[in-house]
A = this chain, B = another copy of it.
Amino acid sequence: MFQIDLMSRLPIYEQITEQTKRLILAGLLKPGDKLPSVRSLSATLSVNPNTIQRAYNDMFAKGIAVSIGGKGCFIAQDALEVLNNDAMQKLKTLETLVTDLKLAGIPEQTILEKIENVYANQEGNFHDSN
């Protein structure tokens, strides 16, 4: 379910947050769905339970997930709203990235082709009807 890169500059707990976000955007996790328990995910990923807990706390703080007493952790009902705000920020990142590419002499056509490819590919596209 999750793929951890120990060498990444991104801390493990943020990797889990990020991947959870993507699973939600991809429709593989929906609001109300249960997340794996701290201990089980800890075992699956061979990561300390504290680190998993921290990832979950991170998601609680961001409003992506909620914790229910001795029951477990669940995707928040309004997780999608949070993720939409995220997308707005990413659009800005894209702008500076493209500016860099332009300065580096990359022709506009090259970039447009990349984008065509992404949008032409239907894999993982669960939101067409939304």
Contact = CB atoms under 8 A, between A and B. Distances in A.
Contact of A93 (B11, B97, B106, B124): B97
Contact of A101 (B12, B91, B98, B102): B91
Contacts of A86: 104
Q: By DSSP majority rule, is chain A's interface helix, strand, loop, or mixed?
A: helix
A69 B6 contact: yes
A90 B101 contact: yes
Contacts of A7: 66, 68
Nearest to A117: B95
Nearest to A76: B7
Interface in A76-99: 83-84, 86-87, 90-91, 93-95, 97-99
B130 A105 contact: yes
A99 B117 CA distance: 10
A43 interface: no
Interface of A: 6-7, 11-12, 22, 25-26, 61, 66, 68-69, 71, 83-84, 86-87, 90-91, 93-95, 97-106, 108, 110-112, 114-115, 117-119, 124-128, 130
